[in-house]
Structure formats: C-alpha cells, structure tokens
Amino acid sequence: MSGSSTSDRPASGDGKQRRPLIVTEDEALLDDLLRLCAAAGAVPEVVHGPAARGAGWDAAPLVLVGDDSAAGLGAAARGEGVVLVGRDPDDPGVWRRAVAIGARQVALLPEGEGWLVDRIADAVEGVGRPALTVGVVGGRGGAGASTLACALAVGAARAGRRTMLIDGDPLGGGLDVLLGGERAEGLRWPAFADSRGRVAGQALEEALPELHSLRVLSWDRGDCTAVPPEAMRAVLAAARRRGGVVVVDLPRRLDEPAVEALEQLDLGLLVVPAELRAVAAAHRVASTLGMLLRDLRAVVRGPFGSGLEADEIARLLGIPLAGELPLEPGLSDALDAGRPPGGVERGPLARFSAEFWARALPEAEGVPA
C-alpha cells in the first residue's frame, strides 16, 4: 500500500474500514475480544450460532471464532482468515476443532492477547509492503536537512504516493511551519507521547494535519521537547505499515528517540554543504550514523564555488553520493509566501526529489533501478 496510485490504495478498496467478524456465545470471551479489537483500532461485527457462516463470513478480513461455537459451524475452507480463540492450553482438542472449521491459527487467552491484537490490526489495515522510509540529517547546523525532507515529501505526494512526513527534531521549530501549516487542524507530537505497543496506522494517518497532499507529524509550539523512545518506535512503525513513503527529519545529535527512528529507516541522506568546515563536521555525523544505519548517502548542497566537487566530498565522508543539490533562488520568498520547499516544480529541490524517487521507488517495489 503506497500513495494514491492503483497499487497504493487501502486494501478495503472502498475507503470503508475492514471489520473483523466475531462468532461466540460466551459473554466473557466476547468482552475480551471486543476489548482486543478496540486495542487494534477495529470495530467488529458480532454474530451468534450456526447462522454465522453466512453472516459476512466470506467478506470479513478476519473471523474470530470462540471455541464454544466451533462445534456448530461445520467444515469450511477459509484458511488464513479464521482464528479459533480459546482459553485452555491443556486441551489437545482445540487444534482438532480448529481444523474442522477451517482455521489455521489458534489464539489462547490471555497469553495470546498481544499476538491477537497484532493479527486483528493487520487484517483491518490490510497487509502490504511497508513504506519506503527515508531519514534526512544535516551534516552541520543549517545544512538544509529540514528543507530537503519537506521537498522529498512534497515530491512523493506530487507523484501520487501516500506520503507521511515525520518531524524527529524537537528543536527544529516544526515542519508544519516550514510547510505553511502551523494553524492546520490535526494532532502534533505531544498527543502521541504516551504511545506504546501498537498504534493503528489508519487512525494515525487520519489524525494528522494534511498539507500539500501529505500527512505531517510535527511538533507544536508548547513545552514538550521530547517523546519517549517507545513512542517514536510505535508511531513510526504505524506510519510504515500504511505503505507508500515515510520521510523523517532527524536531529544531528542522536538521542534515544532518534536512534529508534534510525533502526526503522531503509535509507539515510546526509546533507552536506560544499564547504571544507561543513565536510569536517559532517564526517563526525557520518561516523556515528554509519554504526546505526546500513545505507547512508551524501547529498551535497551548493553553491559549488569552493573547489570541492560532490564526488570528492562523498569520498572524504566514506559514503556513496546520492546527488548534488544546487542553491534554489527565491526559496526564502517562496516560504514566506506559503509555498513549501519543492513546491516550484522546475526548481532544484523539486527536480532533485523527482529524480531521487524515480531511482528509489522502483527498488522498493522489487524492480531493479
């Protein structure tokens, strides 16, 4: 599931939430399953008795059958979409009953609650390819990492990809400001500070501000300047499950939340101005990132009057060159006018972004670049 092209739409196809089906007459078990569905961000349908076989059985993305109801359902060939839910780990007959109703998986509560929540959430959200996740880091202060992160996200959205931009730098002023959307409705990082475990990807996406056809998770202007690493892990994992593209703007000083983000990246871009002092500073950043990130590449930013060539800078840093980024004329005026970085389609930022995604996205979809 990626952006808005045909292969990138939600698995439900019609925009409606995919609803699991619960089949049980055990009130206590029903209460537990409703609670687990709520934890997974799902609103289930509940049916009782043998009639359940025809009550949306084939249309449901997942059918949760209470062990109490298995005997009355008869044989089926549903397979992966059916889970038999019981409580007694010492009952050898539970697997026999699972086979009889066509279930290939059994969940025993309470031990299997965590697994079952994940299984429900996967069914509701649809199982697809995780998002191509790209992190952007400045080689020195003021290198233009946040500007490039925004431009990459704008470029991916313009190409029809489902796109989420995540602000991982709490001291950067807020990417929503850079995109001209500081007053846009939607949640910011402080609302997710207590997130743990599994966050529903669709709920996350719908809660965030939508700016320039992409979703943005930014910092607000309050006193919250950090979130726990568990929150970063949970939120970024939810964003990746939605598919498409996720761009993360990261701080140069790597705290625990930033390290959590690095562990989920597919690719890191280190933005380095073509200046000797900037290269010296970026070398330290590259050495640190290299221990945590398997694929780190340099983006060398102009102007290029210093005598340092982009490929030479990448060689000095010991990382591959992702490309050159010339200076964009009128960028400050464009930002003041509410136009986002990369919003001018013929500008250097937009051209760099288009070329970058043209190379990176085919790789993500299994097509050699």
The alpha carbon torsion through 314, 319, 323, 325 (nearest 10 deg) reads -60
Q: Is residue 86 within 8 Å of residue 106, measured between CB atoms?
A: yes
| 308 sits in which H/E element | none
Residues of the chain with pLDDT below 50 are: 1-15, 77, 364-369
Any alpha helices (H) in 126-208, and if so which ranges?
Answer: 145-158, 175-178, 201-207
Helix, strand, or coil (residue 100): helix
**Residue 26 backbone dihedrals phi, psi, to 5 degrees:** -90, 105
Give the three-class secondary structure for 213. Answer: coil
CA distance 283 to 316: 8
pLDDT at position 18 is 77
Strand partners, 271: 138, 299
Asked whether 8 and 160 are in contact (CB, 8 A), the reply is yes
Residue 36 has a pLDDT of: 93
**Cα separation, 84 vs 73, whole angstroms:** 12
Give this prediction's pTM. 0.75
pLDDT at residue 350, rounded to an integer: 96
Please report the pLDDT score of residue 362 as a whole number: 59
Q: Which residue has the tokens 């290299």?
A: 290
Residue 53: what pLDDT?
63
Structure tokens at 233: 């892990």
pLDDT value of position 124 = 83
Residue 345's pLDDT is what? 87
Question: What's the half-sphere exposure (Cβ side, CA atoms, 13 Å) at 168?
Answer: 34
Task: Supply the pLDDT for residue 51.
Answer: 56
Q: Which residues contact 53 (CB under 8 A, 6 or more apart)?
A: 73, 74, 76
DSSP letter string, 39-98: HTT---EEE-SGGGGGSSTTT-S-EEEEGGGGGGT-----EEEEEEEES-TT-THHHHHH
CA distance 15 to 21: 18
